[in-house]
Amino acid sequence: MRQNEHRVVIVGAGFGGLFAAKALGSAPASVTLINGTTYHLFEPLLYQVATGILSEGEVAPPIREVLRHRDLDVRLGWVTDVDVAGRTVLVRAPDGRERRVAYDSLIVAAGARNSYFGNERFAEHAPSLKDIDDALEVRSRIFHAFEMAELEEDPEARRRLLTFVIIGAGPTGVELAGQIAELAHRSLRGQYRHADLTETRVVLLDAADRVLPAFDRPLSVNARRRLTRMGVEVRLATRVVDVDAGGVELEGGERIEAHTKIWAAGVAATPLAARLADATGAATDRAGRIRVAPDLTIPGHPEIFVVGDMAALDLPGVAQVAMQGGRYAARAIAGRLTGRPVTTPFRYFDKGNMATIGRFSAVANVGKLHFSGLLGWMMWLGVHLFYLIGFKNKVTTLLHWVVSFLGRGRSERIATAQQIEARNALRHRDAA
Amino acid sequence: MRQNEHRVVIVGAGFGGLFAAKALGSAPASVTLINGTTYHLFEPLLYQVATGILSEGEVAPPIREVLRHRDLDVRLGWVTDVDVAGRTVLVRAPDGRERRVAYDSLIVAAGARNSYFGNERFAEHAPSLKDIDDALEVRSRIFHAFEMAELEEDPEARRRLLTFVIIGAGPTGVELAGQIAELAHRSLRGQYRHADLTETRVVLLDAADRVLPAFDRPLSVNARRRLTRMGVEVRLATRVVDVDAGGVELEGGERIEAHTKIWAAGVAATPLAARLADATGAATDRAGRIRVAPDLTIPGHPEIFVVGDMAALDLPGVAQVAMQGGRYAARAIAGRLTGRPVTTPFRYFDKGNMATIGRFSAVANVGKLHFSGLLGWMMWLGVHLFYLIGFKNKVTTLLHWVVSFLGRGRSERIATAQQIEARNALRHRDAA
């Protein structure tokens, strides 16, 4: 670090933090990017890791590699607190040691985590899909369930093994349900002798009255029809009141026996949001996100920007919002340093919203325009290839897509022994 | 299964079992392949998973997918015992349930596992490299060590984090040492600000007096010189007497402080070999492998074949031996069933032996011919691409090689939170 240079600290290397770091490239500042993992996570494709299409490396490129041409400091650690008066953040390294890092400007982009709405005990039976560990765990559960169904002789137990319940019908839930249906009815077809994969049930549940509530209603209707056609049972206005090892219980008493349950039902801000709100006196919304000023700073703290899923902006929790927010915050800081302050508030430019249903099938909402089916899917393909970070990722990802969508292959189907043992230990604990 | 058909059970889906299953394709028999994991493991490339070049899916294709065009039964489970009189094997499923599977002919190809020569307590500090879990654990340790070195301010602790000790200088040890040296001095160069990667030490230890003892001596000398040039410290005739969290202790009292230790020093037969020897009265060698007749059957048990690393054949423990053995056993069984018995004993056709040192550098021993450097590496490339299972694997693997060898990228660098937490728990236990 050069002496006396303005110190910018960015918390989080998701879309918000990464785009802020890139946009700060040429600013006369010393930039430190702090993240709890060594990789940037391309979250919109996490469901493809969970369903065996992509490898974890393809959706999680190392931050150092993505930013290798930038002059900045990448530090591994979780930011657990902010000292607003002293202008430092407290960073906890993976080995438990804590260090303080000083800032002059701070961009907080620590994202969101999954919320079980107070039912945290659901988590061990119904993992969510927010990080690489989750995706590998879900992948292991899905593929292992088919394998165990092949061995199971009791018809009832086999049906339970072949039943997959996804709770939450936002993009992640819809994409997971579509992919599991494709696995059972297409990719894995003919690979089992004893289990009849046509018995597979994929149940997509949501308390809302439609799938993809962030999309225009006709697209929700379209997506639901497509899911149903693929063999997904879509059950709306349905609340889950309990999740256990053997299944889920619905409001009204109905029970669905299911070995594999996946939670895709909602997000909350990370604990850092509450710490930051405490420290700055900022207000938060119901999900714990911080209410920011129109320029994305915390009221009374022009040196602290909050971008992406941590900010309460009345915008969807999508990558574009975080990217644009990160870039805006970086430009605002660079502008102050170069004497050309940014005077316009942050304005989100909505490039549209899309979700895949299955191969060659997606819905996309661009302004007032609706696209679905193959056309929607081509748009999804183009956009995701465009935004995938790094040349190599694009090429191998494209190749894996060719294999999975044109062919039937799922190349990443590993369940590690560690994962299987951990689940066996859990089952034995429950049985005791 | 058709009634009264001859039942062939194959234990293990490594190179021996897989090639036996393929060669049995058209025989008038009902074939069951039993394996403890759902995937075939392309073991010679496991070191590339451990060093971030390939994804786990690329070296571990699902057995069902590899054999999808064959008419056979693939069952998940570990064979724990053989009832020779009753002609059944006992299979333990991942959920702990045990089932018996009957055979008329049995091909046992359960391979080998790593041996710590009675020092099993070394295992938690120095993982070996025999399966996917191992490779992911080693990968996590290697990349995490660089990351922790970047955070470490104490020079001594940083040197320990940047020291990698590999115990065992056979092909796996040599390949690992070469790849870690390339990581430090080439692939990761310039990606760290605080840690000086030129401080990295890669130490390759062996009790023997040369590297690659299965190769002709001039190639061992050549390989050693190439390793040294790449920055690997090769220490021969050196015995490790202790391994702990902070380093290794050598015979004579010298200690090497090293955060990352990897065990590549020797194999032993799996416990099934001892059970099978007990049940049949077969003799075993010092490594626990079964002494078979010239036709690979157990003396007195013409219905039981033992192939690959489980058989004591005075042949190297390489894929070719297992492949040819598996194919031979399959043909012998098919010959009996069709009235054209195979009368010649098993003869290994040695296609040669090769090991990579680094990019564009390998040694190969083909008959009396020696190849090294780029020429050796081209041969290695061709042979490994040829034997890689499945079209898609070949293409993505080739692409990853282009990226890693022509470029500098390592696309698979993930350490999961589960792995990091498990190691932290271990450290806290040791500190308590």
pLDDT class for A392, splitting at 50, 70, 90?
Answer: low
Q: Which of B58, B137, B175, B412 is catalytic?
A: B175
CA–CA separation, A125 vs B300, rounded Å? 51
Is A175 considered catalytic here?
yes
Residue A55 has its nearest CB partner, among B57, B62, B416, at B57
Q: What is the predicted pLDDT for the residue at B68?
A: 85
Residue A432 has pLDDT above 70, yes or no: no
Q: What is the pLDDT of residues B139-184, one digit of tens each?
A: 999 999 999 999 999 999 999 999 999 999 999 999 999 999 999 9
* CA torsion angle A139 A145 A151 A154 (round to 10): 180
Could you report the per-residue pLDDT of A174-217, keeping only the tens digit for each?
999 999 999 999 999 889 999 999 999 999 999 999 999 999 99
Cα B231 to its chain centre, rounded Å, is 25
8 Å CB contact between A166 and A202: yes
Retrieve residue A268's tokens: 């909350």
pLDDT at A128 over 60: yes
pLDDT for position B392: 65
| pLDDT at residue B174 in the model | 97
Model confidence band, residue A3 (pLDDT cutoffs 50, 70, 90): low
Q: At what angle do helices B132-151 and B417-431 cross, to 10 degrees?
A: 70
Residues of chain A with pLDDT > 70, as a percent, come to 97
**A8 bridge partner residues:** A31, A105
In this prediction, residues A102-114 reach a mean pLDDT of: 95
- The one catalytic residue in A58, A175, A182, A412 is A175
CB spacing of B427 vs A95 below 8 angstroms: yes
* DSSP secondary structure of B181-232: HHIIIIISTTS-SSS-GGG-EEEEE-SSSSS-TTS-HHHHHHHHHHHHHTTE
Asked if the Cβ–Cβ distance from A38 to B95 is below 8 Å, we say: no
pTM of the model: 0.93
pLDDT in tens, B274-309: 999 999 999 999 889 999 999 999 999 999 999 999
Question: What is the distance in angstroms between the Cα of A420 and the nearest Cα belonging to chain B?
Answer: 7
Taken in order B291, B293, B297, B300, is the CA torsion positive or negative? negative
Chain-wide mean pLDDT for chain A? 92
Name A34's bridge partners. A11, A75
pLDDT at residue A72 is higher than 90: yes
Domains in chain A, CATH or no CATH each = 6-36+77-114+267-337 (3.50.50.60), 120-265+359-431 (3.50.50.100)
pLDDT, tens only, B100-144: 999 999 999 999 988 898 899 999 999 999 999 999 999 999 999
Model pLDDT for residues B363-397, shown as the tens digit of each residue? 999 889 999 999 999 888 888 888 776 656 777 78
- Whether the CA torsion B356, B41, B426, B255 is positive or negative: it is negative
Residue in A with minimal Cα distance to B60: A414
Q: State both tokens at A281.
A: 């006196």
The predicted-structure confidence for B20-73, as pLDDT tens digits, reads as follows 999 998 899 999 999 999 999 999 999 999 999 999 998 999 999 889 888 899
Check CB contact under 8 Å for B57 and A411.
yes
How many other C-beta atoms can be found within 10 angstroms of the C-beta atom of residue B347?
9
CA angle A350, A352, A354 (to 5 degrees): 150
Distance CA A180, CA A182 (A): 5
* Residue B359 scores a pLDDT above 90: no
Cβ contact, residue pair A68, B191, below 8 Å: yes
Share the mean pLDDT of chain B. 92
Give me the pLDDT at residue B3, please. 61
pLDDT band at A417 (very low <50, low <70, confident <90, very high): confident
Q: Which residues of B touch A96 (CB under 8 A)?
A: 424
Q: Is the pLDDT of residue A1 over 70?
A: no
Q: Which two tokens stand for residue B46?
A: 């496991």
What's the whole-number mean pLDDT along residues B347-355? 91
pLDDT at B65: 87
pLDDT tens, A222-263? 999 999 999 999 999 999 999 999 999 999 999 999 999 999
| Inter-chain touch B411–A52, beta carbons under 8 Å | no
Predicted-complex ipTM score: 0.92
Q: Is B430 a residue whose pLDDT tops 80?
A: no
Contact by Cβ (8 Å): B325, B317: no
Structure tokens at B168: 């065992």
Using one digit for the tens of pLDDT, what is the confidence trace for B77-94? 999 999 999 999 999 998
Which residue of chain A is at minimal alpha-carbon distance from B61? A411
Predicted confidence band of residue A64 (pLDDT cuts 50, 70, 90):
very high
What is the percentage of chain B residues whose pLDDT exceeds 70? 98
Q: Are B30 and B5 in contact (CB under 8 A)?
A: yes
Angle A54-B389-B357 (CA atoms, 0-180°, nearest 5)?
A: 90
Torsion of CA B396, B398, B399, B402, to 10 degrees: 160
Which residue among A57, A64, A147 sits closest to B412, beta carbon to beta carbon? Answer: A57
What pLDDT is recorded for position B415? Answer: 83
Does the CA dihedral A37-A43-A45-A51 come out positive or negative? positive
The residue-averaged pLDDT of B214-219 equals: 94
Q: Do B396 and A392 touch (CB under 8 A)?
A: no
**Pick among B35, B65, B153 to test the A interface (most A CBs inside 10 A):** B65
Buried/exposed code over A14-29 (b: 16+ C-beta within 10 A; e: otherwise): bbbbbbbbbbbeebeb
